[in-house]
Structure 1
């Protein structure tokens, strides 16, 4: 297994656990039009943990990589919401605003790594 798949799988597990332990910050970035924000955060956390764990094991890496791609696509609107909220906020520091903008194109290399896991 390559290092990037290991790092991403491990990060998915860690961030997924955070979704379950501290859902509040994640609820705040769920697009406003979606209902049951906490349920969506919990569900995405469980999927994130599962996809991360599956990417770490050779027998399940393909399914884990495909699950990670689907998750990354599914949560992208939340990342856009977070950026929009940050840019509109007069209280958000400039470094945070810049970070949310720079985070959006990072989805592409993450999807590439997940696809690499799916092909491994």
Structure 2
């Protein structure tokens, strides 16, 4: 299997694992939901978990891959405020935890680019 064939499946796997984690350990995600959002943090945790699972399924299927990958890129941009909140909330934690929280911020850029690359790589395929 070539790299271009593996890339969508790896991205789908990452999204699926993250989606499952939202249900397996929701408290972790509840804590990073920005306070200004309406509703409860748990509702947002579950909604984002469902979204990640749906995006994973969409990317895994060649017929829906391009649209799902573009939506995934937008999703990664949309969840960035949660990563910012985590970095702010964890600024006084021990160095390894603080580093992990700050490290999540720049990781969003390659994730967005990866999703866009998967979309571009799926053009003309079905």
Tell me, which stretches of 5 or more residues in structure 2 are unaligned?
Answer: none
> How do 1:59-74 and structure 2 match up within 5 A?
59-74=63-78
Contact 1:66 1:114 in 2 (8 A): yes
Q: Alignment partner of 1:2: what SS?
A: helix
Please say which of residues 41-50 and 30-39 is displaced more in the overlay.
30-39
Q: Alignment partner of 1:59: what SS?
A: coil
4+ runs deviating over 3 angstroms: none
Tell me, which stretches of 5 or more residues in structure 1 are unaligned?
Answer: none
Give the TM-score of the pair, scaled to structure 1: 0.89
Q: Alignment partner of 2:36: what SS?
A: coil
Cα deviation, residue 2, structure 1: 3.2
- Figure out how many residues of one structure are paired with residues of the other and give that number: 117
Give the TM-score of the pair, scaled to structure 2: 0.85
Larger radius of gyration: 2
- Given the alignment, which residue of 2, 5, 28 partners 2:5? 2
Aligned: 1:46 with 2:50: yes
- Given the alignment, which residue of 21, 46, 55 partners 1:18? 21
1:112 aligns with 113
